[in-house]
Amino acid sequence: MLAPLTAFRDIAATAKAWPFEEARKLLARRERRAAAGVPDKGHVLFETGYGPSGLPHIGTFGEVARTSMVRRAFQELSDVPTKLLVFSDDMDGMRKIPDNVPDPAALQPYLHLPLTSVPNPFGGDFASFGHHNNAMLRRFLDVFGFDYEFASATDYYKAGRFDEVLLRAAERFDDIMKVMLPTLGAERQATYSPFLPISPTTGRVLYVPMKHVDAKAGTVTFDDEDGRETTVPVTGGACKLQWKPDFGMRWAALDVDFEMFGKDHQTNAVVYDKICEILGGTAPQHYVYELFLDEIGQKISKSKGNGLSVDDWLTYAAPESLALFMFQKPRTAKKLYFDAIPKVVDDYAALLDAYQRQSPAEQLENPVWHIHAGLPPQEPWPVSFALLLNLTAASNPDSADVLWGFINAYRPGVTRENYPALDRLVGYAMRYYADFVLPAKTYRAPTDEERAGLEILATALDAAETTDSDTLQNLSFEIGKTNGFADKLRDWFKAFYEVVLGETQGPRFGSFAALFGPKKTAALIREALSGAFLKAA
């Protein structure tokens, strides 16, 4: 649920966080429209688009999350009601078979049918491939708690909700063609039509030239797939529009105020805007974001299935960490793969911890305000994700109870009952460690210098009578400085990670030793020095 208005309005008027910058632009746009005498529909409409030709991916979620952040910022600035419409282009023809579906060959006969007419390759109770993918999107959005209304292009076209503007498109067919033709090559120009009729004989979405457009009758005439001249109405779902005119038509029909889209749409935005205006609408405010990349730098694609899915991320981290990834630098291309998760989780925890100590002005700049719609939770996270991963590496637990034993000793009073978010984090850490950290572990033998220093550290930890992390950190610093690492303390700690934990980096040593226990850390060091980990590998 979206949070109610708070007392931040005056501060929000100058807040620098990007959702507030966009919200102020949207407020100014609304004022300009009012001054120009444009009728007020009584609310501000935010829209996001989804192409269900493949399963939903994190980019789809990011678009809804980021739009919701702008919407929440706008609510802080204005009392005008708002709506968020998640629109699925599920009447598009299936132009190619996605790589990540069961038995792709079985879909071959259904190429070019609307996605809501393609059988569901995943089985189950969904009426079509499009209905299945729409449900997958809604499932995640509902789990996250987004406040939205879902819209299906198939339903809107067939119910006549676009009819008025589609008839206008027939009347202004030549004006639309004047916008579209310069964007096309010579061969495409010869056959292009903004109207895509649905074949009455095959049900396919047809990319064919129009022989006649009758604006008065509201019909188009073309040669069907069997060669027969056919006339159908442009209304009632008998036709749809090509994707670029469809953008502008939808904006005009629904009077959309705000829509963001990826950089791959940026050059087409002027086309969408012109067509919207030709059809009697006012182009919405845009926000262009950069695309997500997989670990080798390729654009994430829902048909290829590369990169992470929403389910992938939620297997190893909570939704709020994914929302933070979306909030940060939306206009910078970012690699999105499993290695990104631990840092994002700990960044979120640090921001949440800082929020409670911040002034109202600072809170509006803090991403957690935007992630949680103005009401971030107050539960602290006394143990970081990185530290839990290393604790898991050291203890090799067979259940979360083992990790909680260390946590209870480290922070008396911190229990899984009164720290449910931390309990969930423990589960995430165990899964992430088993799937990604453990298979990549590579231990190495210490150098003579490292061995001598680690033996001294183990002896000092055995004698330590404290579990204070700062004291244990200072102890490790002093031993490193006096045993050959005075000018290379980074190498000293790196030796601990690589020799003892089998990793190239790790948590702050003092925090790890305090959580694992000084004596157990000493025993772990001695086990590593004995070569036991090398033999096991």
Secondary structure (DSSP) of 287-300: EEEPPEE-TTSPBP
H-type alpha helices, 116-184: 129-144, 153-158, 163-171, 173-180
Among 462, 471, 377, 461, which residue's Cα sits nearest to residue 424?
A: 377
pLDDT tens string 476-506: 999 999 999 999 999 999 999 999 999 888 8
Q: What is the pLDDT of residue 2?
A: 38
Euclidean distance between CA atoms 189 and 425, whole angstroms: 56
Q: Is 300 a member of any domain?
A: no
In a domain, 138, yes or no: yes
Using CB atoms within 10 A of its CB, is residue 174 exposed (0-12), middle (13-18) or buried (19+)? exposed
Q: Is 458 helix (H, G, I), strand (E, B) or coil?
A: helix
**pLDDT at residue 320 is higher than 50:** yes
Local confidence band at 8 (pLDDT 50, 70, 90 cut-offs): confident
Shared domain for 14 and 130, answered yes or no, is yes
pLDDT at 3: 39
In total, how many domains does the chain have?
3
**Residue 134: which CATH number?**
3.40.50.620
Residue 141: CB partners within 8 Å, gap ≥ 6? 61, 64, 86, 148
Nearest to 336 by CA among 290, 297, 288: 297
What's the pLDDT tens digit per position in 402-429?
999 999 988 888 999 999 999 999 999 9
If one compares 294 and 108, the residue with the highest pLDDT of the two is 108
CATH code of the domain in which 485 resides? 1.10.10.350
Task: Please tell me the distance from the alpha carbon of residue 231 to that of residue 200, in angstroms, as a whole number.
Answer: 10
pLDDT band with cut points at 50, 70 and 90 for residue 537: low
Residue with tokens 């925890």: 349
Mean pLDDT over residues 318-334, rounded? 92
434 and 467: one domain? Answer: no
pLDDT exceeds cutoff 90 at 510? yes
> Please, how many CA atoms are within 13 Å of residue 46, restricted to the half-sphere of its CB?
29
Domain coverage including residue 163 = 9-180+243-293
240 strand-pairing partners: 196
Indicate the residue among 418, 440, 462 that finishes a domain: 440
- Domain check: are 17 and 69 in the same one? yes
CA dist., res. 247 & res. 180, Å (int): 13
Residue 67 lies in a domain: yes
Write down the mean pLDDT value for the chain: 91
Characterize 440-472 residue by residue with b for buried, 16 or more Cβ atoms within 10 angstroms of its Cβ, and e for exposed: eeebeebeeebeebbbebbebbeebeebebeeb
Co-location of 404 and 483 in the same domain? no
DSSP 479-523: HHIIIIITT-HHHHHHHHIIIIISSS--S-HHHHHHHH-HHHHHH
The answer on pLDDT for 4 being more than 50 is no
* Cα first-last separation, the chain: 50
Same domain, yes or no, for 277 and 421? no
CA distance 173 to 166: 10
Rounded-to-integer distance, Cα 256 and Cα 363, Å: 30
Q: Which two tokens stand for residue 377?
A: 């939770």
Q: Could you tell me if 427 and 463 lie in one domain?
A: no
Q: Decide if 282 is inside a domain.
A: yes
CA nearest to 506, candidates 346, 317, 281, 280: 346
Please say if the pLDDT value at position 305 is more than 70. Answer: no
Q: Is residue 205 helix, strand or coil?
A: strand
Q: What are the tokens at 119?
A: 């059988």
**Which tokens go with 422?**
């931390």
- 89 near 243, Cβ under 8 Å? yes
Per-residue pLDDT reduced to its tens digit, 143-187: 888 999 999 999 999 999 999 999 999 999 999 999 999 999 999
Same domain, 62 and 176: yes
| Residue 225 domain flag | no
Please tell me the total number of residues recorded for the chain in this structure: 537
Dihedral-angle region of residue 5 (phi above 0 means left; psi in -120 to 50 means alpha; beta otherwise): beta
What 3-state class would DSSP assign to 306? coil
Across 151-160, 295-304, 377-386, the highest mean pLDDT is recorded for 151-160
| 76 and 137 inside one domain | yes
What stretches of 332-428 adopt beta strand conformation (E)? Answer: 334-335
Residue 293 φ then ψ, to 5°: -120, 150
Q: Are residues 17 and 113 in the same domain?
A: yes
Structure tokens at 399: 């259940």
Residue 233 lies in a domain: no
pLDDT at 140: 76
The yes-or-no verdict on residue 114 having pLDDT over 70 is yes
Of the listed ranges 52-56, 160-164, 434-438, the one predicted with least confidence? 52-56
What is the distance between the alpha carbons of residues 141 and 40, in angstroms, rounded to a whole number?
29
**pLDDT of res. 163:** 98
Q: Dump the DSSP string for 413-440.
A: T--TTT-HHHHHHHHHHHHHIIIIIHHH
**Residue 512: what residue type?**
F
What is the C-alpha separation between 525 and 536, in angstroms, rounded?
A: 15
Kindly state the helix (H) or strand (E) to which residue 103 belongs, with its residue range.
none
The answer to whether residue 303 scores a pLDDT higher than 80 is no
| Banded pLDDT at 7 (limits 50, 70, 90) | low
* DSSP secondary structure, 152-168, as one string: EHHHHHHTTTTHHHHHH
Place of tokens 């009584």: 42
142, 262: one domain: yes
Cα(450)–Cα(196) distance, integer angstroms:
71
- Mean pLDDT confidence for 307-330: 88
164 shares its domain with 129: yes
Candidates 147, 156, 162; CA nearest to 88 is 156
- How much is the pTM? 0.88
Of 18-22, 275-279, 330-334, the one with minimum mean pLDDT is 330-334
Q: So what's the pLDDT on residue 535? A: 75
Tell me: do 487 and 395 sit in the same domain: no
Average pLDDT over residues 387-396: 89
Judged against a pLDDT cut of 90, whether residue 58 lies above it is answered with no
Considering only CA atoms, give the Rg of the chain: 29
